[in-house]
Amino acid sequence: MFAALARVVVAHPWRVVGLWVIAALAIILFSPNLSDHTTGNQQDFLPSSFESVDAQDIGNQYFPATAGATGTVVVSRIDGGQLTPTDQQTALGLATTLSNDQIAGVTAVTAGPQSVAPDGKVVAIQVAFAGQPGEPDVNDAVPAVREAASSALQNTDLTSGLTGNAAILVDSNAAYTTAERIISIATVIVILTTLGILFRSPLIAILPVLVIGVVFLAVRGATAWATQIFDFEVSTTLDAILVVVLFGVGTDYTVFLLFRYREQLRDGQDRLEGLVTATGAVGRVIASSALTVIGAFAALFFARLGSLNSLAPGLIIAVAIMLITALTLMPAVIAILSKVMFWPFGPGREPQRSVFGTLGRGVAHRPVITALLIGALLIVLAVFSSGYKATYDTLGEMPSDTPSQQAFDTLAASMPPGDLSPTQVYVKATGPIPQNELATLTTNLEGVAGVAAVTPPRVSQDGTAAVVNVVLDTSPFSTQALDTIDDSLRPAAHSSVPGAVVAVGGQTATLADVRSQLHSDTRHVFPVAVVIVWVILGALLLALVAPLNLIVSVFVTFAATLGTLVIVFQYLLDFVGIDFSTPIVLYLFVVAIGTDYNILMAERVREAFVAGQSPRDAARIAITKNGQTAAAAGVILALTFASLTLTGLKNLAELGAGVAIGVVLASCVMAPMLVPALSVIQRGAFWWPTRQSATGTAAGRRVDDDAHPSR
């Protein structure tokens, strides 16, 4: 199948390139803008059955003026000192100034004596926006409020900053836009440098960057069409992840093809016939690898959390288009440029002795020691994964110079951190709510440990709904705040007004619901991904035991990777925790992409085994021939993902470091050493029910005798 496709592509390369250009231009020029279907508001990703969503619905219906996005203008002295009476008057007057400015997207700006911090260093002015965080009018209003506040305080000793959920989301979007630029530049540099060193050809270094760059634009367009057709939004993290996935996976497949093509040329094949042979041989591996990645990402559809399942379409589209690219466009371009592909040094000759030749002989003759040493290393690292702590502090994960982060730090130094985003307790009854029940609710909420302040209830015009604002004494993003919501505040609120609907909402409550759903999604996604990958591996390798070995190996690699992240970020860098979404996304990347290298190596072992080689020699040949390919491709992909650590965003840094570690373990340890070692230890059982044919066995013995005439 793949050989037949390769012959068609190599025979008609210009037609293939022409069709690709037409299709790519059509998608890029006529697709909608993906940014218009992107959000960072976690509540947009929650199923409607969650309590925080119910609370938001009650707020929208009965208290629309204050149920939208919120913000806090934090006013302080430039020198950080205590506000003078004149300073306080000027700061409090800023609320009137901003109200009079009638900024589009702002419904109210309020301040009073309670806005002055107890230590007299800060005045916190509350801003209510007309809409939810992330909506266009709200996003436009945030910089307008910042500019108006700064202008009003010119020629004074005061400075201002805007924080709150509206400002945080605007700053988050800006940070991810900057991150995407950094990642793109770093990725291009990595690919140009590594491919240039590997193949000593400037053309090979440049080619993948150009081809994958065009594919990336097409993937964004196709994903935008999918969001429009199926009416869903994607997370702000998708763009950054798409860059590294496409360039990483695309370069992997290109390296697989080029290494095999160079091998065929070194064996004396004609340049076009060698390309057909290489594409046919590697096509099976690339297709299986891509299907494995697609299958693993498809498991995200079983997650109910939108920030996870909305990643699936974009990632699946990206890998599917990259698969088609690797099997059609890339061979066509190589065919057109085949005469100068390896210029100026040519394909070179097979080295008489190589590191991987030595490694192959060592693993083949000492498989048990190899497996035990690698297993011990991975298990020791995996033990540290039990120390993983999740953080939901999306504000704290942004760069320290982010405006909303700086304003929050100033606020938190003088007032309860919960002032940044109070929790709302909504009450909805069929009739007027008795005042004594609202008084009981207020008293019970004040008695909850972790609550700093409770505002008097506000009642709707018809008297059937009420809202109480609760200020926590810790950051609204902290694990302690989430625990307060789940363990204390919600039970106290639910038991205070019998016969009425009581719903706790706000940013902290939303994150508590996200945490609950994430735990449920993890229990579903992990096993589904394993089953999908195992089935695909079984179909590729025509075996049942080998795929089981690969799955167990990859799972241990994931645990070791997470353990390494805990060591680096929690113990060495002293992070309070690792982003809550990292383990599940990291798991899918390590299982999916890490399996690529195992597939490459296992398929080469199987090829030699079926041809009649002994398990020991099949492992040696596979490591010698494909070890460098797996290691080189893995290092490139690892460096590509490592570019995420340059963004200044802690969640991307954790994910990038994690995938880089996992890929290095998979490509430089698992694939070239552990998998071949296991195949030698288990011998024919490794490939059950596949067996060697009698013809293949005899041929293999003849080849083996020629290779070892002294035996």
Overall fold of domain 422-505: Alpha-Beta Plaits (3.30.70)
Q: Is the peptide bond before 689 cis (omega within 30 degrees of 0)?
A: yes
CB 230 within 8 A of CB 314: no
* Helix locations, 495-581, DSSP H: 507-541, 545-565
User: Is the pLDDT score of 697 beyond 60?
Assistant: no
Q: Could you report the per-residue pLDDT of 377-404, keeping only the tens digit for each? A: 999 999 999 999 999 888 888 888 899 9
Residue bearing the bigger pLDDT, 249 or 349: 249
580-634 tens-digit pLDDT: 889 988 887 887 777 888 888 888 898 888 888 999 999 999 999 889 888 988 8
Report DSSP state, residue 28: H
When pLDDT is cut at 50, 70 and 90, the band that residue 702 belongs to is: very low
Residue 141 CB coordination number (10 Å): 27
Tokens of 380: 């020791």
Cα dihedral 478, 479, 480, 481, rounded to 10, equals 60
Q: What is the pLDDT of residue 134?
A: 83
Q: What is the DSSP letter of 670?
A: I
pLDDT bucket at 450, cuts 50 / 70 / 90: very high
Average pLDDT over every residue of 230-235: 80
Q: Looking at 239-243, 318-322, 332-336, which range is the least confident one?
A: 239-243
**Partners of residue 73 on adjacent β-strands:** 125, 162
Handedness of CA 632, 637, 640, 644 (dihedral sign): negative
**Under 8 Å between Cβ of 622 and 687:** no
Structure confidence at residue 146 (pLDDT): 96
Please say whether the beta carbons of 274 and 265 come within 8 A.
yes
Confidence at residue 533, expressed as pLDDT on a 0 to 100 scale: 84
Higher-confidence residue of 661 and 687: namely: 661
Structure confidence at residue 709 (pLDDT): 34
Is residue 654 predicted with pLDDT exceeding 90? yes
Phi, psi torsion values for 103, nearest 5 degrees: -70, 130
Domain extents in the chain: 2-38+171-347+355-386+513-707, 63-163, 422-505
Specify which residues 76 forms β-bridges with. 159
- 449: exposed, middle or buried (C-beta count within 10 Å: 0-12, 13-18, 19+)? exposed
pTM of the model: 0.81
3-state secondary structure (DSSP) of residue 39? strand
Task: Choose among 303, 694, 357: nearest CA to 518.
Answer: 303
The whole-number average pLDDT for the span 694-710 is: 42
Gap between the Cα atoms of 410 and 640, Å rounded: 36
- Domain 63-163 has what CATH class? alpha beta
Q: For residues 231-254, give the mean pLDDT.
A: 83
pLDDT tens per residue across span 59-95: 999 998 778 888 999 999 999 999 999 999 999 999 9
**ω into 344 cis (within 30 of 0):** yes
- Closest of 591, 645, 702 to residue 240, by C-alpha: 645
- Contacts of residue 570, defined as CB under 8 A and 6 or more positions apart, other chains included, come to 387, 388, 389, 577, 578
Give which of 555, 548, 556 is closest to 526, Cα–Cα: 555
Please compute the mean of the pLDDT values over residues 653-665 and round it to a whole number: 92
What does the pLDDT read at residue 693? 59
Note whether 333 and 211 are within 8 A (CB): yes
* Alpha carbons 253 and 649: distance in angstroms, whole number: 29
Which of 35-49, 356-370, 577-591 has the lowest average pLDDT?
35-49
Average pLDDT rounded to a whole number, residues 350-369: 87
Residues 239/270, Cβ–Cβ less than 8 Å: no
Angle between helices 675-682 and 615-642 (to 10 degrees): 160
Q: Is the pLDDT of residue 506 over 80?
A: yes
Q: 613 exposed, middle or buried (CB, 10 Å; 0-12, 13-18, 19+)?
A: buried
Domains 63-163 and 422-505 share a fold: yes
- Residue 423's SS3 state is strand
